[in-house]
Amino acid sequence: MIKVTVPATSANLGIGYDTLGMAVSLYSHFTFDHADTLTITGCPEEFQNRDNMVYVAFEQALEQWGMEPFPISIDIQTEIPVARGLGSSSTCVVAGIMGAAALTRRTVTREELVAMATALEGHPDNVAPALLGAAVCSFTPEGELPRCLRYNVSERLRFITIIPPYEVHTSEARKVVPQEVPLSTAVWQMGRIAGLTRGLETGDTELIAAANDDRLQEPYRRKLIPDYDAIRATCLEGGAKTIWISGSGSTLMAVTDDTIVAKFLQVRLREQFPTCETHILTCDTQGAQIEYL
C-alpha cells in the first residue's frame, strides 16, 4: 500500500497566463493498493468508476510503459475543491502516474513525471509546481519535453485564499480570453512576469504588487466571478498588497508578508463573505510526495 500526497496549485499568478504556477499548502491524499477489483472510495459516487481521473492517469501511465493494467483500490482524501482554480485535476493526474510507478516498482524522475503529466493534462502550469514544489515557469519547445524553471518563494509570504461556493470551469474561462492581443499588451506582460518572479523569490510585496497588473486574462475572467470586485476591495482595504485569480477561478488569492495582517483579513473576509471558504496558505516547497504504508 502506498500513499501519494499532492499540493494544490495556483496557476497564472495574475500576470503569468499559462506559464506560471505555484504549489501551496493545501493537499490531496491518495492511497493505492492491489485489489481483486477496481475500488474507489473517498469521492462522490459518480466518480467511483473507470472514468475517475486518477485511474485514467494510472492506466495511461502503465500503457506508456508497455504494461497491462491491473485492479487496484484507490482512496481519495482531499482538501482541494473541484473546479475552483486550485489544480484539483492536476493532483489526480500526478497521483495516478505516481501510484502506477510505485505499485509496479518503477523508478521515474520528476522530469519524466512532469512530461507524462503534461501530456495527460494538456499543459504544465499546474502539474509542474504540483510535482516540483515552489513557483515554476513552464514552457514546451516545439517537439520537445516541457522546460521548467523553479523559483524558491520567500517564507515570509502568506497567501490568503478565498474560495467562493461556485465553480468556474476552465473551458468556459478560456472562451472569454482574446486569442490575439496587441504588441503593446505582450510587451506589458513580459517585463512584469520577471518582476513577479523576483518579488516572490525575495518576498518584496511592493514589487509583486507593481508587477501583478495583468492585461491578458483577468480583465475578462473577473466577470465570471460575481464576488470579484467586493472581495478584491476587502482584501486591499484590509492590508493585502495585491490579489489575483487563481487559475481560471473562482478562487482568489491575496498576498501579504505580515501574518497578523493575514489573520485579521481572514476574520474580515469570513464576516463579509460567510459562504466563502478562506485559508492562509504558504508556498509548498516539496511538491508531490510518496510513502509506503
Q: Find out whether 219 is annotated in a ligand binding site.
A: no
Q: Find out whether 91 is annotated in a ligand binding site.
A: yes
In DSSP terms, 37 is beta-bridged to: none
Q: Find out whether 246 is annotated in a ligand binding site.
A: no
DSSP state of 240: -
Rounded Cα–Cα distance for residues 1 and 4 (Å): 10
Q: Find out whether 293 is annotated in a ligand binding site.
A: no
Contact 244, 251 (CB under 8 A): no
- CA 2 to each of CA 37, 100, 102, 184, 247: distance values in angstroms, whole numbers, following the listed order: 17, 10, 7, 50, 29
For residue 132, which of 2, 3, 23 has the smallest C-alpha distance?
23
Residue with cell 461556493: 165
- CA 291 to each of CA 6, 193, 212, 218: distance values in angstroms, whole numbers, following the listed order: 12, 35, 37, 38
Contact 117, 132 (CB under 8 A): no
Q: Find out whether 154 is annotated in a ligand binding site.
A: no
Q: Find out whether 28 is annotated in a ligand binding site.
A: no
Q: Find out whether 81 is annotated in a ligand binding site.
A: yes
Residue with cell 496587441: 182
Torsion sign (Cα): 253, 257, 259, 262: negative
Rounded Cα–Cα distance for residues 254 and 261 (Å): 11
For residue 185, which of 221, 209, 210, 219 has the smallest C-alpha distance?
219
Q: Find out whether 100 is annotated in a ligand binding site.
A: no
Q: Find out whether 150 is annotated in a ligand binding site.
A: no
Could you tell me which residues are annotated as the binding site? 81-91
Could you tell me which residues are annotated as the binding site for ATP? 81-91
